[in-house]
Chains A and B, each alone.
Chain A
Amino acid sequence: MAGFLDKMILGRKEVRATIEGKMLITGFIIVMVLTFLAIFAPYIVPHDPYKAVAKPYIPPFTDLSHPLGSNFLGYDVLSRVIWGTRNSLMVAALAVVIASIGIPLGLISGYVGGIVDRVLSLLMDSLYAFPGIVLAVAISFMLGPGLFNVALAIAVIYIPTYFRVVRAQTLSVRENLYVEAAKAIGASSLTIIRSYVAPNVLLVAIPVLSLNFADAILTEAGLSFLGVGLPPTEPDWGVDISGSRGDVTRGIWWTTMFPGLMIFLATLGFMLISEGLNALLNPKSRMRQ
């Protein structure tokens, strides 16, 4: 994936010069930095994010050992924010992987057509129309707290996104002459989907994948904020904002500001990648911009 990106897109000077190229590169850098933070969090954090390590409510930028201050329990905000990257990206990645079951569903639905297509489309359209977080709240409530359950709840509401995009693309790829030729020489449906349709369809799923990542991060934070996401002791951006709600009315801003900025940054990073890729992979939409 990274090699492909480099050769096809980032490596080209003319691409780097466009505004889409700049968006893509910016997004890429943000995501790389966050991934680095997530992986190496145990070595980077200055303090244990699960323990009270300071006096409560130290303001940020005043104490060198607690650069972003501390929260109402005396937890180090910087350490929690860094460790939160780990939880947030992990849930989002898991959710995206589970949700990508929508890709084969869309392929089958689009290629086979008929009653299968109608039933699946109706089901997916209904799911798509539903306010995602309500569904996720209900699922998450029934399954109970925990990293995997949250990821599952988020995944369910994003399956239709893949399904719709992949199905639409399959419908147009299906009409190509080479698919007809494959049929004529007697290739089975499975072979045609795997070797002729899928490779031409999957390219459009990549920007969706990235957009989904952004959505999953936002939804995870939302669920945790509402109290049906990760357990309240976990260092997580949503959990931390939820825990420091009361601080705001007392004028204490740093306990909500920093986790929120991280959610924004992470979401923005993945959205920029999606925007850039979308424009570069579909030259038609680029001309419209």
Chain B
Amino acid sequence: MPVMVFILLTIVFLILRVLPGNPVEVILGPKATPEIKEALMKQWGLDKPWYIQYIDFISRMLRGDFGLSYYWKLPINTLIWPRFFATVELAILSMIVAIILGLTLGSLGALKRNTILDHVSRFFGVAAYAIPVFWLGLILQLVFGVYLHLFPTSGRISTIIEYRIKTITGLYLIDTLLQGDIEAFLDVLSHMALPSLALGFIISGVINRMTRQNLSEVLQQDFIVAAKARGLPEKLIFFRYALKNALIPIITIAGMQFALLMAGAVLTESTFSYPGLGTFLMESIYYRDYNAIQAAVVVYAIVVVIVNTIVDIIYAYIDPRIRY
């Protein structure tokens, strides 16, 4: 895990420092005089040799010192963490949507193999992945927001309500519940409905495929036949015998979809003007806020490493055969 953090930070350094286009030119634009450029280079330590810059970069990132935002004139740490938790909340909710949709359709496919239902489930597995998430998001906005007026089409919470909510965990759904504010809770939930539905739908395709495949395999095993022979109820066989065994690889796959989930979140957040890490990255790019861009990419890298480690631990926990 530490090795991976190190490699990812190196990749980020390479992209942001070594690729053509130096940060000072990126920020100041082509019109800046050489004197101004030089002063800024010196201020940021960009005039030093690359290896000093590299060591400096790695040590600052590991200490969580992201520096000042060039645009907001504020420490990036105060800007980025609320956005980070917003993305975490969206990711969790989308994953729940994806698992419910994917498990249900995949199970139906595996149980009714080679029927119309199975074919629909299989096609869904391929098609869900091929739909651009931002397009799906816009269609959902159109249908549920504009035509049916069921859900708000942008943001994370209504402005009036946001004032009375204290931040405890940073996850609004939990914060509102902790403060017993049901109205605020429902407001947050309605804001998150469309984004998490869009993102969850895309991810559910992969889970659907995995469920169908693994469940089909498990259903052909001897112990299932034996259970049937003993006359156990179908429901019991399915939930206790088949699904439980099929879940191990499905959970791993779900964990491995995390990168896809984060990538999809960037697009989903942008579609719904949801104030998460992805929109933070895109705003920083728009303002050419170099430090903030760097911080956002680094936070993504660290999140990926943490989640991968967690998935490994869960995997070892549910499958005792695996030991690290």
Determine whether the beta carbon of B147 is less than 8 Å from that of A256. Answer: no
A260's partner among B19, B119, B139, B216 (CB-CB below 8 A) is B139
Determine whether the beta carbon of B11 is less than 8 Å from that of A264. Answer: no
Determine whether the beta carbon of A122 is less than 8 Å from that of B7. Answer: yes
Residue B161 at the chain A interface, CB threshold 8 Å? no
CB distance from A117 to the nearest CB of B (A): 15
B263's partner among A122, A133, A138, A221 (CB-CB below 8 A) is A133
Residue A55 at the chain B interface, CB threshold 8 Å? no
A135 to B9, CA, bound (A): 12
Chain B residues with CB under 8 A of A256: 135, 138-139, 142
Determine whether the beta carbon of A275 is less than 8 Å from that of B259. Answer: no
Determine whether the beta carbon of A131 is less than 8 Å from that of B263. Answer: yes
Residue B88 at the chain A interface, CB threshold 8 Å? no
Interface residue tally on B, bucketed by range:
35 or more
Residue A284 at the chain B interface, CB threshold 8 Å? no
Chain B residues with CB under 8 A of A29: none
Chain B residues with CB under 8 A of A288: 213, 216-217
9-residue interface stretch from B54-62, B182-190, B300-308? B300-308
9-residue interface stretch from B42-50, B126-134, B162-170, B316-324? B126-134
Closest B residue to A27 by beta carbon equals B126
CB distance from B139 to the nearest CB of A (A): 7
B146's partner among A23, A143, A251, A272 (CB-CB below 8 A) is A251
A134 to B284, CA, bound (A): 13
Determine whether the beta carbon of A251 is less than 8 Å from that of B263. Answer: no
Closest A residue to B297 by beta carbon equals A138
CB distance from A118 to the nearest CB of B (A): 11
Determine whether the beta carbon of B304 is less than 8 Å from that of A131. Answer: yes
Closest B residue to A127 by beta carbon equals B11
Determine whether the beta carbon of A227 is less than 8 Å from that of B135. Answer: no
Chain B residues with CB under 8 A of A241: 132, 134-135, 138
A131's partner among B16, B145, B262, B285 (CB-CB below 8 A) is B262
Residue B314 at the chain A interface, CB threshold 8 Å? no
A37 to B198, CA, bound (A): 30
Residue B180 at the chain A interface, CB threshold 8 Å? no
Residue B207 at the chain A interface, CB threshold 8 Å? no
A268 to B125, CA, bound (A): 11
Chain B residues with CB under 8 A of A260: 132, 135, 138-139
Chain A residues with CB under 8 A of B26: 142
CB distance from B274 to the nearest CB of A (A): 14
Contacts of B276-324 to chain A: CB distance below 8 A: 278, 281-282, 285-286, 293, 296-297, 300-301, 304-305, 308
Chain A residues with CB under 8 A of B132: 218, 221-222, 225, 238, 241, 260, 263-264, 267
Shortest beta-carbon contacts, A-B, top 10: A260-B135, A131-B262, A267-B130, A131-B263, A133-B263, A268-B130, A126-B7, A142-B19, A142-B21, A131-B259
**Which residues of B are at the interface with A, using a C-beta cutoff of 8 A?**
3-4, 7-8, 11-12, 15-16, 19-21, 26, 119, 122, 126-127, 129-132, 134-135, 138-139, 141-142, 145-147, 153, 213, 216-217, 259-260, 262-263, 266-267, 270-271, 278, 281-282, 285-286, 293, 296-297, 300-301, 304-305, 308
